[in-house]
Chain A
Amino acid sequence: MKPALLTGKHYITGDVACAEGALAAGCRFFGGYPITPATEIAEHMAERLPGVGGLFIQMEDEIAAMASVLGASWAGKKSMTATSGPGFSLMMENIGLGVSTETPCVVVNVQRGGPSTGLPTQVAQGDMMQARWGSHGHYAIIALSPSSPQELFYQTIRAFNLSEKYRTPVLIMTDEVIGHMSERVEIPEAGKIEVFSRNKPRGRRDRFRLFSPVENGVAPMPAAGDGYRIHVTGLTHDERGYPDLTVDAQANMVGRIVGKIQNHLDDIIQTESYRMQDAEIVLISYGVSGRTALAAVDMARSQGIKAGLLRLLTVWPFPEAMIRSLAGRVKGFVTVEINLGQIHLEVERCAAGRTPAFLVGHAGGTLISPQRVVERIKEAF
């Protein structure tokens, strides 16, 4: 049997790198339903989990898949699922249950063209707003968007760490090209990988409160069977977890769910700056389009345009403060994404009319070429 951590150099797809990242983070449960272009994650986990003492279940659909992931987390396991647009839509209600019950877990969306069945084998980034607001009610969530198989490996580990630390579902918003592309992935030794696991309660069991924050804005979390009498519900609940359908309880609960993320932005938000020192035109991008944007910055610079890139590894919570601090100081923002304007709307909001913001995007099916980005910059500025 192979070990959980395959230290060494590999030439693998993003999907396989994602699965290996999950195993490296300690994931030992995968509940899923196959869908292009995320199937290879399930396939790889099905092959690997039994050998490291984990469990893989193919559920009857994505609604059940998401439910199984929440259940496994309450049984004390680090758990995940992976899907694409249509499955992501079906998971929405139970992602909300995970948010409400503050259940650590990781959901991977390998994005393809939508709406509906759309373009099963072709790339898009059209689910970014769904990631933010797809489940009903007001809440906050964490979503990461890596730009290479290597980054997908690391960001999957980070997704687990953040989910365990803040007791919340964490979304990995990757895409068909990153999921299916092969590139070198270096898996480090165990000592060089930081793994965080949820805090467990200590002390008197009768005094324990399941939703009373102790550290990182969250309460420790026992597993079913640890001997704590706990109640977990999707109804608005008090700090013991018991239903409390009042305005005050609602304000407390939603406030805590939003606050634990809003109060730790420095820890959660990760971005990468490329040639930003003297940049006048700031590209903003993420996921596979981040690669287009990198190439576009070099191309623009070679033509004398002072371009730079702010690449978002964390898309939600949105790095508002960063954009606000650039607004008014730079000539323009250009968001590069494979949709007709989603993260662009956030950039425009934070630019607040002080710097013009443009979109280079299309409805999906292929990558955006760097040439198109440079042409748009020349047109606009």
Chain B
Amino acid sequence: MQDLEEIKIIVTGFGGQGIIMAGRIIGKAASLVDGNESTMVQSYGPESRGGACNAQIIISANPIHYPYVDQADILICMSQGGYEKYIEQLKAQGTLIADEDLVNPADGDFDAYHVPATRMAEALGQKMMANIIMIGFLTAVIPAVSVNAARETIRHSVPRGTEELNLKAFAKGYDHGLAVLKGREKKAAGQTGAIA
């Protein structure tokens, strides 16, 4: 978690997309492998499939008292409904990570990443793994959890027999995140050059 004292994350989408699973993997990696404090609360409607749901994760160097996330540093959206419901809870200058085929964000005072997570998961033959691709992307762009912690936790959290494919999904998301960061750096350097 580098220099940050505390990171608050909301993951949102439909029930069935593995939103809670993603939240638990992030929280578990932070707590059991990286050795930080971490809480994960979930909220969902009466339906277990199809309704909007969210996972709220706090990662902190200190004990966490109040476990709800009112203002998130990072909002990960895997559905338009989730985006509309929770965008207000993203801090000014926070980070939005959205599935680019499922979420159409408006402009706002936040840093937006558009990730084709579901499309990439379909290319792997497992639409279910879009959540793991998102964790990979998150790990690349924000140091909320270490790469080692994320990989270890995924290995021990997914159904037996799917470990390798899930780690492949994680690597896809992670590599994509690194590529996007590199692209941004180049662009920034290019712009500086043009101005100079």
Q: What is A's interface to B at a CB cutoff of 8 Å?
A: 9-11, 36, 120-122, 177, 180-184, 288, 291-292, 294-295, 298, 366-367, 369-370
Contacts and interface: CB of A to CB of B under 8 A. Distances in A.
Given A181-B40, A295-B65, A369-B70, A11 B27 contact: yes
Nearest to A366: B68
A184 B31 contact: yes
B40 A291 contact: no
B172 interface: no
Nearest to A177: B41
A181 B66 contact: no
Contacts of A121: 43-46
A37 to B, nearest CB: 10
A1 B41 CA distance: 30
Chain B binding surface SS class: mixed
19 contacts: A11-B31, A36-B46, A120-B46, A121-B43, A121-B44, A177-B67, A180-B41, A181-B42, A182-B27, A183-B31, A288-B67, A291-B65, A291-B66, A294-B65, A295-B66, A298-B65, A369-B68, A369-B70, A370-B65
Contacts of B65: 291-292, 294-295, 298, 370
B38 interface: yes
Contact of B39 (A182, A294, A295): A182
Contacts of A181: 39-42, 67
B92 interface: no
Given A9-B32, A294-B65, A184 B41 contact: no
B147 to A, nearest CB: 18
Contacts, number: 59
B28 interface: yes
B24 interface: yes
Nearest to A183: B39
Contacts of B39: 181-183
Nearest to B41: A181
A122 B42 CA distance: 10
A36 B47 CA distance: 11
Interface size range of chain B in the complex? 20 to 34
B68 A367 contact: yes
Contact of B28 (A177, A182, A288, A366): A182
A180 to B, nearest CB: 6
A184 B32 contact: yes
Interface in B1-57: 23-24, 27-28, 31-32, 37-46
Identify which of A9, A121, A177, A292 gathers the most chain B CB atoms within 10 Å of its CB. Answer: A121
A122 B66 CA distance: 16
Contact of A367 (B23, B37, B66): B66
A10 B33 CA distance: 11
A369 B42 CA distance: 17
B66 A182 contact: no
A11 B32 contact: yes
A10 B24 CA distance: 12
B38 A370 contact: no
Contacts of B32: 9-11, 184
A294 B67 CA distance: 11
A116 B130 CA distance: 38
Nearest to B40: A182
Contact of B66 (A9, A183, A184, A370): A370
A225 to B, nearest CB: 42
B151 to A, nearest CB: 16
Nearest to B23: A182
Given A120-B46, A121-B44, A184 B38 contact: yes
Q: Sort A-B residue pairs by CB-CB distance and give the 10 closest, nearest first.
A: A11-B28, A295-B65, A294-B65, A295-B66, A182-B40, A181-B41, A184-B31, A291-B65, A183-B39, A11-B31
A319 B70 CA distance: 33
Contacts of A10: 32
A344 B31 CA distance: 35
A129 B34 CA distance: 42
Nearest to B53: A121
A364 to B, nearest CB: 14
Contacts of A288: 67
Nearest to A8: B32
A292 B45 contact: no
A203 B24 CA distance: 54
